[in-house]
């Protein structure tokens, strides 16, 4: 009996000890969790402070942008902004008629388009297009092979046309070539490649005339077609914007990359040594992705991304605002937080260490999650990074990181637009006398609603209550394709 009582007492004592240990462990875990949450909050607050872009700073960024624009117009190599003369000295009016073609080459895919224009009354009557993927090996083979592949697709596109697409006998097909890589243009229909971007690496093509190469490939296909206008996607978007709204003064691309183009007075371009165009104007391709300034709010994550990129020290502005890089910045920040605070558990998720695995598309989907438990964030973290379980606190932290990067990018993009308006002297005009439209295209602007709304509200804040109503941002869809066809139509009209 006594032995049984002693056994019971021992068991009770053991159970009590286990309970005490369990309580202590639970308390320690709670304290550790609280410490971790405090550390996460400190890291987030530090990130938000370093990404902050108050209006005063944005005005300084805009001032620097306008100054670099003037320097780039003054002399070749005078600025990090190339400020390329495009030889487009007028833009569509809406009266263009006829059937015209466009080729849009700017990445791993290209498109061929056919556009039928019916003048002011009928506008775009019909538009057909076809997208083609470029085999990876052609992106680093030879210019001959690449352009032969493109020309063969053009020939196939033309060969499939119906009776309603036949041109009058003896009429040569005219092609607008949207080539979204840096080129130095020598005329409207010629330009030498400055450098490749976006994973293309055909070294022997650098310094060659891209129009001449394409025209030769078209002839090898036996196709009666020639390039009559060379533009980039931003200039095409500007043309498409002017086609639908005559007050369009500039265009911005916010997609995988970023760039801007605008209309300037030809006599405001000191490096222009040709005769002044009759219109008195000239479209300038800024190549604004290469803008850099000490005023840009950079973090160590931006500096590390830049140092490890294919083009360190270049495209600094683009790396802050474009779809190619914002998702990668979020990944780097989350990796740092995982190392510092164990937000994803004791072990670093292996996939989180993989560069560019988190796309800006994934970032915007998480950022736009409005569910009460942030279930979409949890699903994305599991799907993309292989993270099985996350707490609500961690999911909210991920959303906050996305917001910090998107807010900074959107506000800096607004500062760039304000810099263009400032350069043109329209930031101080009376709102009753001038209306200005900025045409915008690209996946970041089109699909990242938070980004586009933040950019627009920031621009309004910078403009002020009086001027803001006279400046509009308009989404222009497919400017890179239709815009090129419109420019061909414009310049094919005989003078007089």
Q: Which backbone phi and psi does 190 adopt, to 5 degrees?
A: -155, 145
Nearest CA to 211 out of 237, 238, 194, 193 is that of 193
Six-digit token string for 164? 């309603």
Known catalytic membership, residue 271:
no
Q: Which of 89, 148, 233, 369 is catalytic?
A: 233
Q: Kindly state the DSSP code that residue 286 receives in the 8-state scheme.
A: -
In the three-class reduction of DSSP (H, G, I as helix; E, B as strand; rest coil), residue 129 is classed as: strand
> Sign of dihedral through CA atoms 235, 182, 212, 102?
negative
Catalytic one of 186, 195, 198, 474: 198
- Does the active-site annotation cover 198? yes
Bridge-based pairing state of the strands 436-441 and 248-254: parallel
User: Length of the chain, please?
Assistant: 496
Q: Are 236 and 480 in contact (CB under 8 A)?
A: yes
Closest CA to 343 of 398, 286, 285: 398
**What is the C-alpha to C-alpha distance for residues 466 and 7, in angstroms, rounded to an integer?**
87
Task: Give me the DSSP letters along 350-385.
Answer: GGGGSTT-S-HHHHHHHHT--STT-HHHHHHHHHHH
CB atoms within 10 A of CB 66: 20
What's 206's DSSP letter? T
Q: Active-site residues: which are they?
A: 198, 233
């Amino acid at each position: 009996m006594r032995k049984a009582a002693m056994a019971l007492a021992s068991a009770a004592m053991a159970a009590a000890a286990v309970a005490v240990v369990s309580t202590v462990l639970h308390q320690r875990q709670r304290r550790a969790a609280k410490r971790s949450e405090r550390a996460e909050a400190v890291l987030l607050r530090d990130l938000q402070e370093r990404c902050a872009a108050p209006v005063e700073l944005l005005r300084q960024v805009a001032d620097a942008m306008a100054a670099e624009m003037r320097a780039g117009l003054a002399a070749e190599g005078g600025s990090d902004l190339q400020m390329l003369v495009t030889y487009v000295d007028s833009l569509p009016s809406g009266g263009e008629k006829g059937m015209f073609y466009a080729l849009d080459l700017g990445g791993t895919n290209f498109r061929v388009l056919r556009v039928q224009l019916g003048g002011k009354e009928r506008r775009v009557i019909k538009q057909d297009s076809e997208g083609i993927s470029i085999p990876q090996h052609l992106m680093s083979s030879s210019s001959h092979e690449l352009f032969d592949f493109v020309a063969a697709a053009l020939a196939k596109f033309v060969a499939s046309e119906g009776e309603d697409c036949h041109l009058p006998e003896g009429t040569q097909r005219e092609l607008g070539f949207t080539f979204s890589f840096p080129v130095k243009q020598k005329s409207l229909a010629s330009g030498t490649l400055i450098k490749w971007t976006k994973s293309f690496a055909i070294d022997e093509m650098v310094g060659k005339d891209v129009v001449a190469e394409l025209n030769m490939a078209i002839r090898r296909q036996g196709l009666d077609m020639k390039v009559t206008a060379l533009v980039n996607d931003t200039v095409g978007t500007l043309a498409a914007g002017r086609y639908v709204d005559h007050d369009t003064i500039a265009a911005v691309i916010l997609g995988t990359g970023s760039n801007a183009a605008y209309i300037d007075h030809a006599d405001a371009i000191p490096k222009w040594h040709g005769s002044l165009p009759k219109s008195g104007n000239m479209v300038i391709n800024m190549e604004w992705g290469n803008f850099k300034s000490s005023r840009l709010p950079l973090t160590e994550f931006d500096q590390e991304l830049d140092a490890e990129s294919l083009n360190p020290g270049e495209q600094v502005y683009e790396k802050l605002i474009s779809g190619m890089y914002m998702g990668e910045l979020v990944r780097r920040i989350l990796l740092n937080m995982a190392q510092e605070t164990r937000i994803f558990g004791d072990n670093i998720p292996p996939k989180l260490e993989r560069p560019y695995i988190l796309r800006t598309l994934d970032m915007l989907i998480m950022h736009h999650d409005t569910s009460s438990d942030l279930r979409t964030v949890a699903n994305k973290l599991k799907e993309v990074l292989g993270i099985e379980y996350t707490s609500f606190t961690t999911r909210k932290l991920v959303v906050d990181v996305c917001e910090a990067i998107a807010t900074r990018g959107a506000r800096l993009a607004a500062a760039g637009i304000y810099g263009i308006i400032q350069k043109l002297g329209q930031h101080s005009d009376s709102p009753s006398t001038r209306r200005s439209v900025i045409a915008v295209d690209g996946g970041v602007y089109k699909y990242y609603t938070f980004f586009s709304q933040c950019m627009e509200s920031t621009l309004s804040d910078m403009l002020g209550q009086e001027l803001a109503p006279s400046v509009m941002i308009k989404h222009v869809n497919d400017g890179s394709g239709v815009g090129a066809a419109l420019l061909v139509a414009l310049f094919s009209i005989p003078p007089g």
